[in-house]
Amino acid sequence: MLLTLIAVLASAWPAAAAASQPPSGTCQRRCGDVDIPYPFGIARGCYLYTGENDVTFGLTCNLTADGTYRPFCFEVEVLGVSVARGQARVRNEINPWCYNATSRSMDGGSSMWTDFSDSSFMLSDEDNRFTVVGCNSLAYVSSKDASQFATGSTYMTGCMATCPGAGRLENGSCSGMGCCQAAIPRGINSYDVVFEEKFNTTAIANFSRCSYAVLVEAAWFDFRTTYVTAGDFMASTGGKVPLVLDWVVGKVTCREAMRNTTAYACVSSSSVCVDSRIQVRLP
Ligand SMILES: *[C@@H]1O[C@H](CO)[C@@H](O)[C@H](O)[C@H]1NC(C)=O
Ligand SMILES: *[C@@H]1O[C@H](CO)[C@@H](O)[C@H](O)[C@H]1NC(C)=O
Ligand SMILES: *[C@@H]1O[C@H](CO)[C@@H](O)[C@H](O)[C@H]1NC(C)=O
Ligand SMILES: *[C@@H]1O[C@H](CO)[C@@H](O)[C@H](O)[C@H]1NC(C)=O
Ligand SMILES: *[C@@H]1O[C@H](CO)[C@@H](O)[C@H](O)[C@H]1NC(C)=O
Ligand SMILES: *[C@@H]1O[C@H](CO)[C@@H](O)[C@H](O)[C@H]1NC(C)=O
């Protein structure tokens, strides 16, 4: 399954003039329950315009199937924006991997690719954890070309969730039994999820038919034993969970840049740090 969350084609950064124009006072600053502070915005002239095809900060306010309005960046739902932290929370798809009773094996492709590499975002290594839910389930998160470790720019990490018995599963505990978590490297903006296929899960399929792997906001995630025993991780979340993105400033995240005011023009608490060449003043 190929999953491209954001395929933004930003190449050239614009002149700082684009950023210094204050957005019009008539801009819509709320979509449903979500506040949309600058540099994000909904209409042209209301968000930080960073290049012809770059709509990193340009959102749409869509009427969704449940009758509510919600902000999207292409197909990615934006749950919230924090200007002070230089972060956005988006909804990220859970990758399921399920036992097929007919074929007596695990179903489907076991590799899922998620890519923010052409946007102004990085995956927050501080706030997110790669999380695997299931029984006898080993999953990896890696760069796409993890088979070519020679380049030195690749990474691969992961963890294994085991289930010795239902009695040992505990709500709120993600430390190996039915649930495990791994930290991700700093500074990545795309990842591949791969399930290890060598485990024969026929014997545990009646107890736990599906395994799940997802990069998720650690503070939000709260393991429920029923995610394994009743398979309701997808049902209880709608198949999507929060993921925290950091705005990128040059090659580091905005928050890192703000710590070093010598190198970046992100001095004032009323400025938004977006790129080393652009300083945005909040209206
Ligand atoms: C939201 O609306 C925009 C503009 O109509 C559209 O391009 C986009 O695909 C929609 N997103 C979703 C998730 O429906
Ligand atoms: C399960 O396996 C059978 C036989 O290989 C296949 O026909 C069927 O489509 C599979 N089910 C799913 C949900 O993929
Ligand atoms: C864990 O919490 C869920 C409700 O979220 C409950 O149904 C389940 O029985 C709990 N599991 C244990 C082992 O207490
Ligand atoms: C998996 O184990 C079951 C017995 O638990 C066996 O019937 C089946 O053939 C095994 N499948 C594979 C692919 O080895
Ligand atoms: C799983 O359940 C099915 C139907 O209830 C049963 O036929 C099968 O033997 C069970 N498999 C195992 C490994 O317990
Ligand atoms: C801040 O940036 C300057 C210039 O790039 C660099 O020399 C300095 O080591 C940085 N300080 C920290 C704490 O990263």
Collect all residues with Cβ–Cβ distance below 8 Å to 15 and sequence separation of at least 6.
none
Q: Out of 17-21, 88-92, 105-109, which region has the weakest mean confidence (pLDDT)?
A: 17-21
Burial (CB < 10 A; 0-12, 13-18, 19+), residue 153, is exposed
Instruction: Tell me the ligand closest to 105's alpha carbon.
Output: 4
Output the pLDDT for position 202: 75
Q: Is 202 in the pocket of ligand 4 (CB under 6 A)?
A: yes
* CA of residue 282 to ligand 4 center, whole Å: 61
Which of 2, 244, 237 minimizes the C-alpha distance to 114?
2
- Give residue 92's identity as a one-letter amino acid code: N
Pick the atom of ligand 2 nearest to 98's CA.
13
Instruction: Tell me the ligand closest to 99's alpha carbon.
Output: 2
* CA of residue 223 to ligand 3 center, whole Å: 10
Number of CB atoms found within 10 A of residue 188's CB: 17
CA distances from 51 to 15, 106, 119, 153, 250 (A): 9, 44, 11, 27, 15
Q: Is 28 in the pocket of ligand 2 (CB under 6 A)?
A: no
**pTM of the predicted model, to two decimals?**
0.80
Q: Is 100 in the pocket of ligand 2 (CB under 6 A)?
A: yes
| CA separation for the pair 179, 173 (Å, rounded) | 8
* CA of residue 225 to ligand 3 center, whole Å: 6
pLDDT digits (tens, 9 = 90+) for 48-100: 776 666 657 889 999 999 999 999 988 899 999 988 788 899 999 999 988 88
pLDDT at 196 over 80: yes
pLDDT digits (tens, 9 = 90+) for 205-214: 777 888 999 9
* CA of residue 72 to ligand 5 center, whole Å: 43
CA distances from 269 to 272, 279, 281 (A): 8, 12, 9
* CA of residue 127 to ligand 2 center, whole Å: 37
pLDDT at 192 over 60: yes
pLDDT digits (tens, 9 = 90+) for 110-142: 678 888 876 778 899 999 999 999 988 899 998
* CA of residue 103 to ligand 2 center, whole Å: 6
Nearest CA to ligand 4 atom 3: 202
Output the pLDDT for position 124: 92
DSSP state of 64: P
- Neighbouring C-alpha atoms within 13 Å toward the C-beta of 175: 5
Burial (CB < 10 A; 0-12, 13-18, 19+), residue 282, is middle
Output the pLDDT for position 30: 95
Q: Is 173 in the pocket of ligand 3 (CB under 6 A)?
A: no
- Neighbouring C-alpha atoms within 13 Å toward the C-beta of 28: 15
Instruction: Tell me the ligand closest to 178's alpha carbon.
Output: 3
Boundaries of every domain in the chain: 4-86+248-273, 92-239
